[in-house]
Chains A and B, each alone.
Chain A
Amino acid sequence: MNVGLAIFWKDVLIEWRSRDRVVAMLLFSLLVVMIFQFSLPGGASADTQVYAPGLLWVAYVLAALFGLGRAFTLELENDALSGLALAPAERGWVFLGKALANLTILAPAQAATAFAFGLFFALDLTAVAAPLAGIVLLGSLGLCSVGTLFSAVAVRTRFREVMLPLLLLPLLVPIVSGSVRATTVLIATGSVPFEPIQLLVVTDVAYLIVCFLTFDYVLDE
């Protein structure tokens, strides 16, 4: 438990010193929003609002893939990953510490992207900001759990940049579909639907448990 907190603190501190992942993800997801402007008929406007929730999550997933890929490269320098593997603790806590740090580092980019979506699609998100943040948190939790696990895997394979999305995207279908559905209903009606949230919670719990238990096998050399 303390090991998880130590790792979380260490990752956030390193990110705070350089801020390179936060800035890169932020710019990246704003660029993705720009691309949507050119790929939608009539651009991002009130007329294309119906596409906004789906596209928002596409931007989130792409930004997360981008940021998660870097999560373990910082552990490769000076073989720091071995330092984590040496810790006499349940390795699941190492996983949780890394996953929570990823979740935290993702948050600024996500908030800014949501703001940009509201602006370009003429959506007023301020009224639903709190429940939307909740949905984003639930979705991102699942995203960061498998994302962290397979980031640790991909970083030690050849073609690591290609490997992470290939491994991750098929596993993200339940999370993306639940999040998009929940976001759509929330923006349309102002209330949070039960079924997609249920799917998100079940997926998050299942992924977190399996990742916690299997991280031991990933951390071994």
Chain B
Amino acid sequence: MIRWTGILLAALVTACTVLIATSPVDARQGVIANILYVHVPCAFAAYAGFLTTAICSALYLVRRDERFDRIAMAAAEVGVLFCTLNILSGPIWAKGTWGQWWVWDPRLTVTLLLWFVYLAYLLLRSFTEGSERTARFAAVYGLLGAIVIPLNYFAIELFGGAAMHPDNLEGDSLGPAIALPFAASVVTGLTALWHLVLVRADLEHRQAPPDL
């Protein structure tokens, strides 16, 4: 499984690089717009990772199967990695386009909060003793961390944060020339997430004591 996702990822990265290199440079924003080929896939991967953590946390609590815990942990780690890349790449582009490094826009704020939630999740794991207790405590937190997302959106809108991100990716909001490399980069980001999650969960499995 890991080998196949690895091969798929390598192929996608190659294809993506070619597609982005041959796509036209954005007329208005210039070459800086190419950051979005990293920024947006990272956001998708981070959100998908955190969603996986929340779902696997709930499944772990119901089934008490260590495999769900390993995937929840791996997805949180890789999700935090992508979320960090997303938060770092965003301001570079924002400075060039919006003229400011940071804007308290709802999606930005929620992403930052999620980054804090899942960093706290990882800290909780490393500060708890006993693998089974770690799994239980972390699962409870991973679950609550996901519940807070819609509440946070509501909370931030209440304060009237200026929405700077486009609402949705509609088909015609992207020109046909960049739609394909864009879609390819998102698929690559998600594949990278899954590949790394599988590798990380497998590593954890190898470190775990053997089942008796």
Q: Do A and B bind each other?
A: yes
Binding site for B on A (CB under 8 A): 146, 149-150, 153, 156-159, 163, 166-167, 169-171, 173-174, 177-178, 181, 195-196, 199, 202-203, 206-207, 210, 214, 217-218, 220-221
Q: Contacts A167-B120, A167-B124, A181-B158 given: A153-B141 contact, CB under 8 Å?
A: yes
Q: In the complex, what residue of chain B is closest to A150 when comparing beta carbons? A: B141
Interface positions, chain B 135-176, Cβ under 8 Å from A, are 136-137, 139-141, 143-145, 147-148, 151-152, 154-156, 158-159
19 pairs of residues in contact across A and B, judged by CB atoms under 8 Å: A153-B141, A157-B137, A158-B127, A158-B129, A159-B127, A170-B113, A170-B120, A171-B144, A173-B113, A173-B152, A174-B148, A174-B151, A181-B158, A199-B158, A207-B144, A207-B147, A214-B140, A217-B140, A218-B140
Chain A binding site: helix, strand, loop or mixed by DSSP? helix
Chain B's nearest CB lies how many Å from the CB of A53? 13
B184 adjacent to chain A (CB < 8 Å): no
Chain A to chain B: the 4 pairs with minimum beta-carbon distance, closest first: A174-B151, A177-B155, A174-B155, A157-B127
* Cβ-Cβ contact count across A and B, 8 Å cutoff: 88
Interface positions, chain B 82-129, Cβ under 8 Å from A, are 113, 116-117, 120, 123-124, 127-129
**Which of under 10, 10 to 19, 20 to 34, or 35 or more describes the interface residues of B?**
20 to 34
B133 adjacent to chain A (CB < 8 Å): yes
A150 contact set on B, CB distance < 8 A:
141
B158 and A167: CB pair below 8 A? no
B61 adjacent to chain A (CB < 8 Å): yes
Per-residue CB contact flags for chain B residues 7-28 toward chain A (1 = under 8 Å, else 0) read 0000000000000000000000
B129 contact set on A, CB distance < 8 A:
157-158
B154 contact set on A, CB distance < 8 A:
174, 199, 202
B159 contact set on A, CB distance < 8 A:
177, 181
Chain A's nearest CB lies how many Å from the CB of B6? 34
A178 contact set on B, CB distance < 8 A:
155, 158
B123 and A217: CB pair below 8 A? no
Chain A's nearest CB lies how many Å from the CB of B174? 32
The docked-state distance in angstroms from the alpha carbon of A195 to that of B133 is: 39
A195 and B158: CB pair below 8 A? yes
